[in-house]
Amino acid sequence: MYYNFAVQIPSEKGKILTKAKGGSSYVLFQYGSDYKPDKKYAIPKRTIIGRVDPSDPTKMFPNEKFQQYFPEAMLPEELPETYRSCCLRIGPYVVIRYVLNEYKLPKLLGKWFPEDCGLFMDLLSYLIVDEDNAGQHYPDYAFCHPLFSDGMRIYSDSKVCRFFSSVTKEQTIGFLDDWNKRRDHKQRIYISYDSSNKNCNAGDIDLIEYGKAKDDKGIPIFNLALAFDKTNRVPLFYEEYPGSITDVSQFVHMVDKVTEYGYKKVGFILDRGYFSKDNIRYMEEGGYAFVIMVKGRKALVSSLVEENRGTFETERDHSIRAYHVYGKTVKARLYEDDTQDRYFHIYFSPSKHAAERERLELTLDRFKIYMDKHIGDVVTSSKACQEYFTLKYDK
- Would 79 be classed as within a structural domain? no
pTM of the predicted structure, to 2 decimals: 0.67
Do 366 and 330 fall into the same domain?
no
Does the pLDDT at position 357 exceed 60? yes
Average pLDDT over residues 323-332: 93
Total tally of structural domains belonging to the chain: 5
Strand, coil or helix: 183: coil
Question: Which of 123, 140, 172 finishes a domain?
Answer: 172
Percent of the chain with pLDDT over 70: 95
Residue with the larger pLDDT of the pair 317 and 80: 317
User: What was the pLDDT predicted at 77?
Assistant: 63
- Would 179 be classed as within a structural domain? no
Do 188 and 284 fall into the same domain?
yes
Q: Which domain holds residue 98?
A: 91-172
Do 193 and 269 fall into the same domain?
yes
- Would 77 be classed as within a structural domain? no
Residue ranges of E strands in the chain: 7-8, 16-21, 24-36, 41-53, 56-62, 189-199, 221-229, 234-242, 266-270, 289-292, 319-320, 325-332, 342-348
Residue with the larger pLDDT of the pair 140 and 109: 109
pLDDT digits (tens, 9 = 90+) for 272-303: 878 888 888 888 888 888 898 886 656 777 88
User: What was the pLDDT predicted at 349?
Assistant: 94
**Can you tell me the distance from the alpha carbon of 267 to that of 6, in angstroms, rounded to the nearest whole number?**
57
pLDDT digits (tens, 9 = 90+) for 11-58: 888 889 899 988 889 999 998 888 888 888 888 888 999 999 999 989
Do 137 and 45 fall into the same domain?
no
Do 105 and 156 fall into the same domain?
yes
Do 200 and 286 fall into the same domain?
yes
Do 100 and 163 fall into the same domain?
yes
Average pLDDT over residues 380-390: 78
Question: Which of 267, 292, 317 finishes a domain?
Answer: 292
User: What was the pLDDT predicted at 202?
Assistant: 66
Does the pLDDT at position 179 exceed 90? yes
**Can you tell me the distance from the alpha carbon of 303 to that of 294, in angstroms, rounded to the nearest whole number?**
13
